[in-house]
Structure 1
Amino acid sequence: MVSNSRRTVLTGLGVLNPIGSTPEAFWDALVAGARGVRTVSLFDATELPCHIAGEIQGFSAKAMIDKGYRRSLNAMARTVELGVIGAQLGLQNAGIAKGTVPAHRIGIEFASLMGATDLNDMAAASKVSSPDGETIDHALWGSAGLPEITPLWMLKYLPNMPACHTTILYDIQGPSNTQIPGDTSGLVALFEAARILRRNTADVMVVGGSEARINPITLSRHNLFVQLSRQNDNPGHAVRPFDADRDGSVLGEGAAVFTLEELTHARNRNATILGELVGWAAGVDRGKKGPGLARVIRNALTAAGIQPQDVDHVNAHGTGTTIGDSFEARGIAEVFGRDVPVFAPLSRFGNLGAASGLMELACSVLALRHGLLPGTLNHEKPAADCPIAVHAGAPRPVTKPYAVKVSYTDLGQCAVAVVKKWE
């Protein structure tokens, strides 16, 4: 039975990103204006038009994972490692240890996409299947190439693997699902987790997103088909949200995982409450003109029972792309005009794909909690085609209890969440 009286609160946060891998370090970096976009170091990308990205330096899943689970890392690609470690950090931050919640009353909703293959996983098979080094002999591929590929190859890269490994490692036997609609998938996972709590199918939900986009295949593909910045000599200033001089986005990697909990359950265990999810909506703006996004924003506000004037700030996706920023700004402006400040944190750590929505939302949750909104980096010359009031410069006090998080994909899928400061 669905019950709107079952309120959903955020009680834990795990983050892994280029500027901070604890909530405290992440917040300090946000306030300080830290920049996590750098020249790629995981491989030599200098021949690509864009060879800068938001890379997590020094990440080691082996060093961070609970000791009893290290052998499981052999079946995890980097995206999966980030997701599993993020979930571990989110549960620890919430004060939930394995077995402290009945296994059937804790579930997981995760956001991830199909990972790109590590080149080494296919190298031997490709080499024996291509005698001339240029073309693949399909007969050789079947007879000699396939035996060179580990039987677990595909399981390292499937989108549902972060959720799968997390449920196994932490004995999560409640509802489990994976969402894959691109940059909106993290918020979509959050919405479905909230519905599960409202239906009384679980008391706690692990809600996360992870993606590792800095590998030769992914970066090459995005250089071909996506507007990436060419500001390789000035990586920290490359992504310029809603700026007249914006020339594209950059890719990033990371994981953001919230522990979402039914309010009474959280209170009964004296949990620290970071904020409350009070409304949400999703939809499609097929032409990416703005009215469809505006409709989704209004639906989310209606679900939360608030008006535009109740909102402290709008947390935008702000990818720094020419078309994307203009589209997003039109949708926001149709609802809020220039009356509500817009904050766009992506320029600090890059576009994290499936992890972006929740990582960006984490910035607003921390801002509401600390009573301070950091400025948007690299917004120096407001663009005429972006009719919104972007908050840049020094942090400003939070003056109202609500924040609105907007996310979208290049296909026009839109997702909007409303969170409230916990007092």
Structure 2
Amino acid sequence: MVSNSRRLVLTGFGVLSPIGTTPDAFWQSLVAGASGIRPISLIDAAELPSHIAGEIPGFSARAMMADTKYRKELKSMARTVELGVIGAQLAVLNARLSKGSVPPARIGIEFASLMGASELNDLAAASKLTSPDGHTIDMGAWGKDGLGEITPVWMLKYLPNMPACHATILYDLQGPSNTQIPGDTAGLVALAEAARIIRRDTADVMVVGGSEGRINPITLARYNLFVQMSRRNDDPTRAVRPFDANRDGTVLGEGSGVFTLEALDHARGRNAQILAEVVGWAAGVDRGKTGPGLARVIRNALASAGIRPADVDHVNAHGTGTTVGDAFEARGIAEVFGRDTPVFAPLSRFGNMGAASGLTELACSVLALKHGELPTTLNHEAPAADCPVAVHTGAPRAVTKPYAVKVSYTNLGQCAVAVVKKWDS
């Protein structure tokens, strides 16, 4: 951490998730133990081995876009971008900020997103024209005739920097702007970089978020081929079983989680609501996914916050429900906390949302600290011998300590950790 001691607080939250699209609805679903995992309806996925996911019911960016003049830009946004732009809008409004309320050069954005998978219809005409046998593309014909069938702005629908790009235009965010892309850790990496920006006094407010829409044919097919996906299609709400002996894989989800991060002096100056304080962060790599590398990142985050493991109320785990992933994460957590600190794994409620996962999962802990109770972890029924952590189940428990630790990782072993503190003064 840099020497600047500027304190950092979260002052707004926007969410689009399978269990709620407002902070209140999201929280009530968490407390009630609700699940948003269901059979996929956005496309016909019945032939896939795993055809359940966390969908957002009835999501319409057009209906939610507050700036009616900007709705015309939706035609150049894939679903991932739409989710990010609307999520950013919700966070800014929730923070009671408006365009121009902060000097444009003093408000920026750090966003987590990945390259989106193309919608099949965008390439259908070119594919038909350049595939004489219906199976193999003639690349010469593609270059000569196929490209003319694709809109010139096709790629702008899918580039990972598009959510941040559109948000900067909508809210005149002229401060630092960047997009983070390291998969499931991208949201926490974005939060850490935004925190450093404010600590350097380069901005007073940063919009920090992540979005990803994974329910499309290409992404679903790829994950079914290369990732351990749950086959509990007949029981979707109980499919993802974090750290459970009977876990059989994860499911995908879609959504966005966006915060406004603000310097405490600036937040107090405008009498802003404060949800929690961001006090520590760290990132690194556990190349072999053995556990010690993740433990090192957790310790670095605790050190940056100036706290000990005993100060932590709970660890918010990624908890994907995969055999290898859960065992790896549990080893890293256990090396630091043993079985003394409750582990909470909310992903089983809404699926793995990739770049949107880290901050959406973090929001669960932010709300738990704010409301003073920690919701249960769904579907953890038989503790696994290879997952030596104390998973919180049963009724919501009272929050008894001021800090929560959020852990995230990728299949490549990238790790990121954030530490938040209950707001008191």
Q: Say yes or no: does 1:27 pair with 2:32.
A: no
Per-residue CA distance 1:33-78 (angstroms, 9 max, x = gap) = 1110010001100100000000111000000002121011011000
CA distance in 1, matches of 2:2, 2:333: 31
Residue pairs, 1:168-179, within 5 angstroms? 168-179=169-180
Per-residue CA distance 1:312-351 (angstroms, 9 max, x = gap) = 0000000000000000000000000000000000000000
Superposed displacement of residue 139, structure 1: 2.3
Give the 3-state SS of the residue equivalent to 2:178 in structure 1. strand
Give the 3-state SS of the residue equivalent to 2:246 in structure 1. coil
Per-residue CA distance 1:241-289 (angstroms, 9 max, x = gap) = 0000000000000000000000000000000000000001111111111
Residue pairs, 1:12-411, within 5 angstroms? 12-66=12-66, 67-411=68-412
CA distance in 2, matches of 1:199, 1:138: 50
CA distance in 1, matches of 2:139, 2:335: 55
CA distance in 2, matches of 1:2, 1:47: 52
Which letter maps to 2:290? K
Give the 3-state SS of the residue equivalent to 1:90 in structure 2. helix
Superposed displacement of residue 131, structure 1: 2.0
Which letter maps to 1:226? V
Give the 3-state SS of the residue equivalent to 1:19 in structure 2. coil
CA distance in 2, matches of 1:286, 1:256: 28
CA distance in 2, matches of 1:266, 1:139: 58
CA contact (8 A) 1:86 1:256 kept: yes
Give the 3-state SS of the residue equivalent to 1:218 in structure 2. helix
CA contact (8 A) 1:54 1:349 kept: yes
CA contact (8 A) 1:11 1:258 kept: yes
CA contact (8 A) 1:228 1:247 kept: yes
Superposed displacement of residue 142, structure 1: 1.6
Give the 3-state SS of the residue equivalent to 1:354 in structure 2. helix
Superposed displacement of residue 2, structure 1: 5.3
Superposed displacement of residue 4, structure 1: 2.7
Superposed displacement of residue 5, structure 1: 1.8
Superposed displacement of residue 146, structure 1: 0.6
CA distance in 1, matches of 2:276, 2:19: 22
CA distance in 2, matches of 1:369, 1:169: 30
Using the size of structure 2 for normalisation, the TM-score is 0.99
Using the size of structure 1 for normalisation, the TM-score is 0.99
Q: What is the root-mean-square deviation in Å for CA atoms of aligned residues?
A: 0.9
Superposed displacement of residue 3, structure 1: 4.7
Give the 3-state SS of the residue equivalent to 2:423 in structure 1. coil
CA distance in 2, matches of 1:269, 1:285: 42
Number of the residue aligned with 1:413: 414
CA contact (8 A) 1:126 1:136 kept: yes
CA distance in 1, matches of 2:319, 2:331: 12
Which letter maps to 2:183? G
Superposed displacement of residue 393, structure 1: 1.3
Give the 3-state SS of the residue equivalent to 2:391 in structure 1. coil
Which letter maps to 2:20? G
CA distance in 2, matches of 1:393, 1:125: 54
CA distance in 2, matches of 1:110, 1:104: 17
Give the 3-state SS of the residue equivalent to 1:253 in structure 2. strand
CA contact (8 A) 1:110 1:163 kept: yes
CA contact (8 A) 1:2 1:200 kept: no
Per-residue CA distance 1:187-206 (angstroms, 9 max, x = gap) = 00000000000000000000
Q: Say yes or no: does 1:4 pair with 2:10.
A: no
Aligned residues: 423
